[in-house]
């Protein structure tokens, strides 16, 4: 699984991007200031770096220098609300790979990421007879497609992107419902609906924390 470091001081935006990256199959580490980000950079390499320009303590442009000193060819995408050409020029001069202006559509971010790191297509085997294709977003049983409702499909996509790992209830709510009112349609009810299309033990409940898709192949 590819790893991404996301550095963004707007916590709501950080959470939204991190959830989206998880869906794309990334293991995501996050930081909200440049100092913490640099600590994470020192710990291990990442396959992708997403850096806000304006950060507390160490700004995004300085972080480019620090990433490049260790990993000269690593993909770096800068995130910024600045419209100044001078900022864009500095970012590219110091070694960023892509530059995206806020606000942006997450699909645009995906396109830019996949330009730098083409996706790794992989059908996820849930059981010997059940499989999910993340590219076509299709669940099949022995090759026969199973029809899912839109929210069931979004939930399954998120769980498959994090197969055998815990996905918190709050992450599920943010990704599946986005800005919709959720009280009338709880996560537990949606999970139970999805379970009807899978084996009874495919989705494990981690009480008080969230859910985990358990692949048994």
The third-level CATH classification (topology) of the domain covering 124-213 is Arc Repressor Mutant, subunit A (1.10.10)
Quick one: how far is CA 214 from the chain centroid?
19
3-116: which CATH architecture? 3-Layer(aba) Sandwich (3.40)
Q: Give dist(CA 97, CA 78) in Å, integer.
A: 8
**Confidence check: pLDDT of 146 > 60:** yes
The least confident of 8-17, 120-129, 136-145, 201-210 is 120-129
pLDDT of residue 112: 95
Q: How does pLDDT run across 53-74, given as a tens digit for each residue?
A: 999 999 999 999 999 998 888 9
Q: Give dist(CA 83, CA 189) in Å, integer.
A: 44
3-state secondary structure of 190: helix
The answer to whether 88 and 96 have CB atoms below 8 angstroms apart is: no
Indicate where the chain has its CATH 3.40.50.2300 domain(s). 3-116
Q: How does pLDDT run across 160-182, given as a tens digit for each residue?
A: 888 888 888 888 888 888 666 55
Tokens at 124, concatenated? 């996820």
Tokens at 123, concatenated? 């059908």
Average pLDDT over all residues of the chain: 90
Q: Give dist(CA 33, CA 184) in Å, integer.
A: 37
Angle at 52 (CA atoms; ends 40, 78), nearest 5 degrees: 100
**Confidence check: pLDDT of 120 > 90:** no
Decide which of 180 and 52 is more confident: 52
Percent of the chain whose pLDDT exceeds 90: 67
The answer to whether 102 and 82 have CB atoms below 8 angstroms apart is: no
If you average pLDDT over residues 36-50, what whole number do you get?
A: 94
Indicate where the chain has its CATH 1.10.10.10 domain(s). 124-213
Q: How many CA atoms lie within 13 A of 45 on its CB side?
A: 10
Residue 208: which region, alpha, beta or left (left: phi > 0; alpha: psi -120 to 50)? Answer: left
pTM score > 0.75 for this model?
Answer: no
**Confidence check: pLDDT of 135 > 80:** no
């Amino acid at each position: 699984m590819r790893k991404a470091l996301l550095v963004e001081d707007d916590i709501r935006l950080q959470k939204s991007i991190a959830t989206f990256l998880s869906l794309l199959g990334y293991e995501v580490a996050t930081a909200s200031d440049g100092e913490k980000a640099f600590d994470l950079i020192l710990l291990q390499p990442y396959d992708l770096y997403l850096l806000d320009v304006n950060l507390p303590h160490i700004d995004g442009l300085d972080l480019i220098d620090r990433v490049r000193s260790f990993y000269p060819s690593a993909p770096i995408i800068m995130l910024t609300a600045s419209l100044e050409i001078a900022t864009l020029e500095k970012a590219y001069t110091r070694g960023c790979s892509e530059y995206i202006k806020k606000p942006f559509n997450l699909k645009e971010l995906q396109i830019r990421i996949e330009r730098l790191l083409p996706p790794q297509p992989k059908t996820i085997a849930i059981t010997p007879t059940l499989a999910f294709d993340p590219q076509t977003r299709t669940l099949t049983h022995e090759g026969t497609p199973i029809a899912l409702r839109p929210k069931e499909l979004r939930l399954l996509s998120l769980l498959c992107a994090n197969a055998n790992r815990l996905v918190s209830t709050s992450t599920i709510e943010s990704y599946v419902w986005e800005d919709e009112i959720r009280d009338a349609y709880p996560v537990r009810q949606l999970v139970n609906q999805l379970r009807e299309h899978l084996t009874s033990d495919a989705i494990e409940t981690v009480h008080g924390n969230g859910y985990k898709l358990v692949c048994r192949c």
